């Protein structure tokens, strides 16, 4: 295994935040990470959702993150950007979901390294441990 491939299929803030934390720590440790945002996981990255803070929240930890000023835990978008400067982290948007939602890459916050279909992501993930969130 040479790193992690994280499939982010949930748009719940707690899960998206967890993926950004896991990815950040791994990248800072020089462990390659590739995140594939698909299904509802991709919705959390929409510019409008991020700007309005209109996230799906599962419980008290998510509400605490939204009420935080970002000092305790930076928002997932900021955390992913920082992680890219620390180590090998790549984030990809799911092409199929973008097509279904009639979205372009410019509709999302600027954290993506590209757009991939499932087969493209699986090729990139072939030597990594896959985590599904």
Q: Give 11-51 pLDDT, tens digit per residue.
A: 999 999 999 999 999 999 999 999 999 999 999 999 999 99
The total of other beta-carbon atoms located within 10 Å of residue 100's CB is 11
Looking from the CA of 25 toward its CB, the CA atoms found within 13 Å total 5
Name the architecture of domain 13-132.
3-Layer(aba) Sandwich (3.40)
- pLDDT surpassing 80 at residue 71: no
The whole-number pLDDT of residue 84 equals: 95
Q: Is 128 left (phi over 0), alpha (psi -120 to 50) or beta?
A: beta
Question: For residue 31, how many C-alpha atoms fall within 13 Å in the half-sphere facing its CB?
Answer: 15
In this predicted structure, the answer to whether residue 68 has a pLDDT above a threshold of 90 is no
Task: Give the global pTM.
Answer: 0.94
Using 50, 70 and 90 to split pLDDT, how confident is the model at 72?
Answer: confident
pLDDT of 92 reads: 98
Predicted pLDDT at 86 = 93
Give the residue extent of every domain in the chain.
13-132
Confidence category of residue 70, pLDDT binned at 50, 70, 90: low
Q: Which residue has the tokens 């896959």?
A: 130
107-to-4, 50, 120, 121 alpha-carbon distances in Å: 26, 11, 21, 21
What's CA 4's distance to the chain center, in Å? 13
d(CA 88, CA 90): 7
């Amino acid at each position: 295994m040479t790193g992690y491939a994280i499939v982010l299929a949930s748009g719940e803030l707690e899960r998206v935040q967890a993926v950004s934390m896991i990815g950040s720590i791994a990248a800072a440790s020089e462990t390659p990470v590739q995140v594939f945002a698909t299904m509802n996981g991709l919705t959390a990255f929409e510019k409008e959702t991020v700007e309005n803070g209109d996230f799906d929240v599962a419980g008290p930890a998510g509400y605490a993150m939204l009420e935080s000023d970002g000092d305790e835990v930076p928002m997932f978008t900021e955390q992913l950007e920082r992680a890219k400067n620390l180590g090998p982290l790549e984030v990809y948007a799911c092409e199929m979901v973008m097509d279904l939602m009639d979205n372009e890459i410019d509709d999302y916050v600027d954290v993506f390294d590209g757009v991939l279909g499932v087969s493209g992501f699986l090729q990139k993930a072939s030597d990594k441990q896959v985590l599904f969130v």
